[in-house]
Amino acid sequence: MDQGPSPRTGTGADDMRGAVRMRVARIVLIVVVVLGGLFVAADRVGVHLAESKAAKQAQVTEDLDARPKVSIEGFPFLTQVAGGKLDDVKVSAQDINAGGGADSLRIDSFHADLHGVKLSNGFSRAVADSADGLAFITFDDLTKAAPQGITVSYGGATQDGKTFVKLSGAVPGIGGSISVLSQITVRGADSIGLHANPLPKAFTALGLEDDIRQRIDFTRQLTHLPAGIALTSVTSTPEGISVAAGGKHVVLAN
């Protein structure tokens, strides 16, 4: 007598075991996603707290009117801290007094990229493998830093890339109006200088070149630069001047 096809032994049990494995896998996946989210959240909270503290400390240490913006790049932050080295840190600041007394010079904005920031001594010491930055100074602020009566404005550029500023106004202590192009250059590691060239023949013919240069040529220092960083170039633009800086083994805190 035909009994029909034999039943497939164990199929129901196999299906159940497969369903259980899939359910376990989903549970594990959910747990991993949640834990990963919590780690990311903790990491982001940690980095925001560190950025805020660093910005506040920089404002207090450098006596800045406005708090700078600090951005710690890279992920995860907590792993970087555990390793004692931050991959990349970006700093932006505005309205910085970069001089003192009669040589006061205001920086309108400053941006810096710090690479490979090593932390030590309980995070009280920070040294960057390398750093580069760019400061912008408006012509209004450069005029305030110039000798009395002299106005500084954009002077154009040459085909070989040299840029100039224009000095105009009454010559202090001598009288008479002057309007000359001045080349602006980096002088030493932390200063910029303006040197008029050439002077009008009306003044040089009278033998006044040295006297005039002493009154209109000037140098201003950008103070409080971190150890290891130096000015590298300066460029004139229609709105002001851009000063670039960079260096190796830059001591940020010690």
Q: Is the pLDDT of residue 27 over 60?
A: no
- Summarize pLDDT for 183-227 with one digit per residue, the tens: 889 998 889 998 887 777 777 777 777 888 878 888 888 877 777
Strand partners, 76: none
The pLDDT, as a whole number, for residue 239 is 93
Q: Is the pLDDT of residue 157 over 70?
A: yes
Q: Is the pLDDT of residue 41 over 80?
A: no
The pLDDT, as a whole number, for residue 235 is 92
Q: Is the pLDDT of residue 26 over 80?
A: no
Q: What percent of the chain has pLDDT over 70?
A: 76
- Cα–Cα separations (whole angstroms), residue 27 to 13, 37, 39, 40, 118: 21, 15, 18, 20, 40
- Report, as an integer, the average pLDDT of 147-158: 88
Instruction: Report the phi/psi class of residue 160: left, alpha or beta, with left for phi > 0 and alpha for psi in -120 to 50.
Output: alpha
For 127-159, b/e burial (b = at least 16 CB within 10 A) is bbebbbbbbbbbbebbeebbeeebebbbbeeee
**Could you tell me which residue, 102 or 241, shows the higher pLDDT?**
241
- Of residues 133, 96, 136, the one with CA closest to residue 241: 136
Confidence grade of residue 28 (pLDDT, cut at 50, 70, 90): low
The pLDDT, as a whole number, for residue 3 is 54
Would you tell me how many other CB atoms lie within 10 Å of the CB of residue 33? 10
Site of tokens 């023949």 = 201
DSSP letters for the chain: ----SPP-TTHHHHHHHHHHHHHHHHHHHHHHHHHHHHHHHHHHHHHHHHHHHHHHHHHHHTT-SS--EEEEESS-HHHHHHHTEEEEEEEEEEEEE-S-GGG--EEEEEEEEEEEEEEETTTTEEEEEEEEEEEEEEHHHHHHHSPTTEEEEEEEE-TTS-EEEEEEEEPTTT-SEEEEEEEEEEETTTEEEEEE-SPPHHHHTTT-HHHHHHHH-EEEE---PPEEEEEEEEEE-SSEEEEEEEEEEEEEE-
Q: Is the pLDDT of residue 8 over 70?
A: no
- Of residues 111, 90, 107, 89, the one with CA closest to residue 98: 107
Whether 131 and 226 have beta carbons less than 8 Å apart is answered as yes
